[in-house]
Amino acid sequence: MRPFLIAPSILSADFARLGEDVDAVLNAGADVVHFDVMDNHYVPNLTIGPMVCQALRNYGVTADIDVHLMVKPVDRIIPDFAAAGASIITFHPEASEHVDRTLQLIKESGCKAGLVFNPATPLHYLDHVMDKLDVILLMSVNPGFGGQSFIPSTFDKLRQVRKLIDDSGYDIRLQVDGGVKVDNIAEIAAAGADMFVAGSAIFNKPDYKAVIDEMRAELASVEA
Ligand SMILES: O=C(CO)[C@H](O)[C@H](O)COP(=O)(O)O
């Protein structure tokens, strides 16, 4: 498996001083910025759009920005996020009328592409599109809010998707999002994840580096 990536979710960052907070978490050792986009339609919450992504780039953020679209419809906003500096764009298949077309649109916009599965979304959406995926994101909470508890059935789903990825031979990251903490990250990695989104576990602590170091120490026990 490839090196583990830690992607703090800025849903739990301080929006009043977002650039500084993103810089701080990257300086603390985070690999990727996870950027949660909610539309108060597909999910019952409202967050940030392409202008904020562009603002982070203008502020000097050079790390990959991983845009998780919790919006419906999906396609119209994709070129805007690509132009605003998104590196990866993921979306929920049930929010797109034409999943293959949406994946192509993301690729043609110059970004990496991925599908997101809610806890109860079936995996059959992966049929016929594995060759177009850079990321598969399994939600381990129902989307819309940070600070929820990890849903244990995600472990089985992770193992299933890890096998699908390995059997496919494609180079696809397996990301998990929701309730990821120091005390469960090793078990999540052992089930097959290699990219970890964590919001409240990092941003709600005063010392981001201490949390990220603890997560890496836990992950090291899985890599060994
Ligand atoms: O996509 C999300 C919610 O829809 C968040 O990224 C996720 O819940 C992370 O928050 P936390 O680590 O606090 O659970």
Q: Which residues line ligand 1 (CB under 6 A)?
A: 9, 11-12, 34, 36, 68, 141, 143-148, 177-180, 197-201
Q: Backbone phi, then psi, for 183, in 5-degree steps?
A: -80, -5
Q: Is 177 in the active site?
A: yes
- pLDDT per residue rounded down to tens, the chain (224 residues): 689 999 999 999 999 999 999 999 999 999 999 999 999 999 999 999 999 999 999 999 999 999 999 999 999 999 999 999 999 999 999 999 999 999 999 999 999 999 999 999 999 999 999 999 999 999 999 999 999 999 999 999 999 999 999 999 999 999 999 999 999 999 999 999 999 999 999 999 999 999 999 999 999 999 65
5-223 topology per CATH: TIM Barrel (3.20.20)
Among the listed residues 21, 39, 134, 177, the single catalytic one is 177
CA 42-46-52 angle, 5° bins: 115
> What is 153-207 written as a DSSP string?
THHHHHHHHHHHHHHHT---EEEEESS--TTTHHHHHHTT--EEEESHHHHTSS-
Coil, strand or helix at 121: coil
pLDDT score at 74: 98
- Give residue 116's pLDDT: 98
Q: If you take atom 5 of ligand 1, which residue's CA is the nearest one?
A: 146
Whether 49 has a binding-site annotation, put simply, is: no
Closest C-alpha to 7, from 176, 123, 162 = 176
Whether 39 has a binding-site annotation, put simply, is no
Query: Coil, helix or strand for 221?
Result: helix
CA-based nearest residue to 61, from 24, 36, 93, 106: 24
CB atoms within 10 A of CB 12: 18
pLDDT at 216: 97
Closest atom of ligand 1 relative to the 45 alpha carbon = 4
Domain locations in the chain as residue ranges: 5-223
Query: Which residue among 36, 39, 66, 194 is the active-site one?
Result: 36
- Does residue 36 carry a catalytic annotation? yes
